Amino acid sequence: MTQRVLVLNGPNLGRLGSREPDVYGSTSYAGLVERCTALGKELGLDVEVRETNDEGEMIRWLHEAADGKLPVVINPGAFTHYSYGMRDAASQRTAPLIEVHISNPHAREEFRHTSVISAVASGTIAGFGIGSYELALRSLAGTLG
């Protein structure tokens, strides 16, 4: 049986490819979905990629992952810096949860230097563009395998 993995994306990530390409690269959101699902197949993972601009929906997805013992790769977007509700949902994880960021938050504005998610994540990968997701999926496959 293939291990199901949720790749969860927060606000504005559906605008990849058109949103600040100098920061977030030129890969579209559809391209991100394709790369994650293709790599997942290669690694024996059933990857489902989701995106929301709604904090409540993200919290519900984290509850779904905890209840289903599903590993998570999460790019919380701006929720990273202030969503204590999302942090509390992530802390209920029952499987690995890897926080990812396309850019390196520590090389950007000071308000981006704080993550309320990092302390409850299995690990954080940042600054490798879309490759941050690929590194997270490879890490999960190694951990789960």
* C-beta pairs of 135-139 under 8 Å, 24+ apart in sequence: 135/100, 136/73, 136/98, 136/100, 137/5, 137/7, 137/36, 137/39, 137/40, 137/43, 137/45, 137/47, 137/73, 138/39, 138/43, 139/98
pLDDT band at 76; cut points 50, 70, 90: very high
Q: Is 133 a catalytic residue?
A: no
Catalytic residue among 101, 106, 113, 133: 101
Kindly tell me if the per-residue pLDDT of 17 is higher than 70. no
Whether the per-residue pLDDT at 109 is higher than 90: the answer is no
Q: How sure is the predictor about 78, in pLDDT bands with cuts at 50, 70 and 90?
A: confident
Q: Does the pLDDT value for residue 25 go beyond 70?
A: no
Of the two residues 16 and 67, the one the predictor is more confident about is 67
Residue 114 scores a pLDDT above 90 = no
Residue range 25-51: average pLDDT? 91
Higher pLDDT, 142 or 13: 142
Answer whether residue 21 shows pLDDT above 60. Answer: no
What residue ranges do the domains of the chain occupy? 3-144
The question of whether 63 is a catalytic residue gets the answer no
- Per-residue pLDDT averaged across 64-91, rounded? 94
Domain 3-144 is of which CATH architecture?
A: 3-Layer(aba) Sandwich (3.40)
What is the pLDDT, as a whole number, of residue 121?
97
Confirm whether residue 60 is marked as ligand binding: no
Q: Which of 24, 29, 63, 113 is catalytic?
A: 24
The answer to whether 117 is annotated as binding is no
Q: Which residues pair with 121 in a beta bridge?
A: none
88 labelled ligand-binding: yes
High-pLDDT (> 90) share of the chain, %:
68
